[in-house]
């Protein structure tokens, strides 16, 4: 039996994230590597350090043609991390490719600051403050995130280590899924094949 999540707006289940699986960049589909290379170069030029590549969701046994991959970055001062995500979603005959870049910081209050180039898809949870430059470059996103951090007292910003980053990304993903379940935008499903 497989467990998944069914978006309210779709008949195509997603698989619940249970871990962050690191992969070598060479294991990304060639189209992902080509699509992401300019943004990777821009993120590094903006001062972020490449940490690891990973699957953002497990391979989707419900929809094996779907592919999700991401690259995690960390700022030199450890005050924020960046994620460059890429997905190919196939619903025959349509194939969509999506990419997004985000910076995020945790605060000692339990709140988080996120700065992204994605369009809003739903209202964020109360603990998450999001700023957007839709379609913005990694440099523009990093610059805006740094300006936002200047408005926060230095001792309120949680410093994130390389060792903590994977578990924080998993927690972030699971919190998103739980929030979407709570709002009824996802529902749990089982495949009893």
Output the pLDDT for position 108: 97
Output the pLDDT for position 62: 56
Q: CA geometry: angle at 154 spanning 148 and 160, to 5°? A: 85
The Cα 158–Cα 78 span in angstroms is: 8
Output the pLDDT for position 146: 98
Output the pLDDT for position 9: 46
The Cα 12–Cα 168 span in angstroms is: 27
Domain hosting 12: range is 2-191
Terminal C-alpha separation, the chain: 7
**Count: domains in the chain:** 1
Task: Write out the DSSP string of 35-101.
Answer: HHHHHHHHHHHTTEEEEEEEESS---SSSTT-EEEEEEEEETTSS-EEEEEEEEEEETTEEEEEEEE
Output the pLDDT for position 190: 61
Rg (CA), the chain: 17
Output the pLDDT for position 172: 82
Tens-level pLDDT at each residue, the chain (193 residues) = 344 544 444 555 555 666 778 889 998 889 999 999 999 999 999 999 999 998 766 555 556 667 788 999 999 999 999 999 998 877 778 888 889 999 999 999 999 999 999 998 878 888 899 999 999 999 999 999 999 999 999 999 999 999 999 989 888 877 877 777 777 777 666 654 4
Express each pLDDT in 79-106 by its tens digit. 999 999 998 877 778 888 889 999 999 9
The Cα 143–Cα 99 span in angstroms is: 19
Helix or strand or coil: residue 118? Answer: coil
Express each pLDDT in 104-120 by its tens digit. 999 999 999 999 999 98
Contact 20, 57 (CB under 8 A): no
């Amino acid at each position: 039996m497989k467990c998944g999540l069914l978006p309210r707006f779709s008949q195509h289940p997603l698989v619940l994230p249970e871990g962050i699986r690191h992969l070598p960049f060479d294991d990304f589909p060639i189209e992902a590597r080509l699509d992401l290379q300019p943004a990777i170069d821009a993120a590094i030029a903006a001062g972020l350090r490449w940490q690891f590549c990973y699957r953002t969701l497990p391979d989707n046994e419900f929809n094996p043609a779907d592919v999700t991959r991401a690259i995690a970055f960390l700022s030199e001062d450890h005050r924020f991390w960046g994620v460059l995500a890429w997905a190919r979603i196939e619903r025959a005959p349509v194939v969509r490719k999506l990419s997004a870049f985000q910076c995020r910081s945790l605060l000692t209050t339990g709140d988080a600051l996120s700065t992204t180039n994605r369009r809003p898809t739903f209202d964020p949870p109360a603990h998450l403050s999001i700023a957007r430059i839709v379609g913005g470059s990694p440099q523009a996103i990093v610059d805006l995130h740094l300006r936002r951090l200047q408005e926060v007292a230095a001792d309120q910003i949680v410093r994130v280590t390389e060792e903590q980053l994977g578990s924080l990304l998993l927690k972030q993903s699971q919190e998103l899924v739980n929030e979407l379940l709570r709002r009824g935008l996802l529902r749990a499903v089982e495949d009893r094949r």
